[in-house]
């Protein structure tokens, strides 16, 4: 039975199987929870997803959900925007994550696209006002925040709330990892295979295959690729 469950899980997630020391009781509890999430997703009209209780979905016609997407408890998705929110196959949204495609109804945002098998961590906040693209196999640690627009503030005669916003699209490259509490501000492109240290604030573009840390984030070392080793 365990082998069958493990094979099904590996095929479904596109990753390896379970830890060999995982007790059978914990494995069965995991399966029961996933089955309950699958039933909940079916009730909400998503035939190939896993949706926990307590998930808030606003603007469902602006939301595209791929195969085997898993949406954890307390997740909030506000999808109304020009391009909507697109969750690729096998994307996971952990507990309490917030995806907000627009800042409000006064001006619709661009939207959010999350690529295949990307993992959005617990309590992440992703604002798609200026457009956010997260490519495949990206890993976002707990508490990551991504912003894609800034408030205008140059007019001293007006409150900032009345001055509107300036969009700045954000791209997170394939296979990157953003550590816990990292912040990405509007207009930033993070290249493929980048590691952002926990708590860093990324204010400028990051070259592929580098490790950055600090506030503002600076390159601390390169990650040598097989081509570079040549």
Give 65-102 pLDDT, tens digit per residue: 999 999 999 999 999 999 999 999 999 999 999 999 99
- By residue count, the chain amounts to 230
Q: Which of these is catalytic: 82, 86, 127, 151?
A: 151
Give catalytic status of residue 151 as yes or no.
Answer: yes
- The model's confidence at residue 105, banded by pLDDT at 50, 70 and 90, is confident
Task: Spell out the CATH class of 47-229.
Answer: mainly beta
Across the strands, what pairs with 126?
Answer: 99, 146
Residue 190, helix vs strand vs coil: strand
- Specify the DSSP class assigned to residue 38: H
Distance CA 56, CA 94 (A): 13
Taking 90 as the threshold, does the pLDDT of residue 185 lie above it? yes
In contact, 212 and 197? CB cutoff 8 Å: yes
Mean pLDDT of 188-214: 98
Q: Where are the domains of the chain?
A: 1-43, 47-229
CA 147, 152, 156, 162: dihedral to nearest 10 degrees?
-100
Two tokens, residue 144: 């990551």
């Amino acid at each position: 039975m365990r082998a069958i469950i493990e094979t099904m899980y590996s095929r479904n997630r596109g990753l390896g199987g379970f830890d060999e020391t995982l007790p059978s009781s914990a494995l069965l509890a995991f399966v029961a929870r996933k089955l309950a999430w699958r039933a909940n997703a079916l009730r909400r009209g998503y035939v190939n997803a896993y949706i926990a209780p307590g998930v808030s979905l606003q603007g469902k016609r602006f939301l595209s959900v791929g195969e085997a997407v898993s949406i954890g408890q307390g997740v909030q998705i506000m999808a109304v925007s020009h391009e909507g929110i697109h969750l690729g196959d096998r994307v996971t949204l952990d507990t309490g994550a917030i995806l907000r495609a627009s800042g409000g109804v006064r001006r619709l945002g661009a939207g959010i696209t999350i690529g295949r098998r990307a993992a959005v961590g617990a309590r992440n906040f992703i604002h798609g006002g200026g457009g956010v693209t997260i490519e495949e196999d990206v890993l976002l640690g707990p508490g990551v925040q991504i912003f894609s627009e800034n408030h205008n503030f140059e007019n001293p005669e007006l409150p900032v709330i009345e001055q509107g916003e300036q969009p700045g699209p954000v791209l997170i490259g394939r296979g990157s990892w953003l550590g816990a509490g990292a912040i990405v501000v509007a207009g930033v492109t993070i290249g493929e295979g980048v590691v952002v240290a926990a708590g860093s604030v990324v204010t400028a573009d990051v070259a592929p295959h580098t490790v950055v840390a600090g506030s503002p984030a600076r390159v601390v070392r390169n990650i040598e690729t097989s081509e570079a080793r040549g």
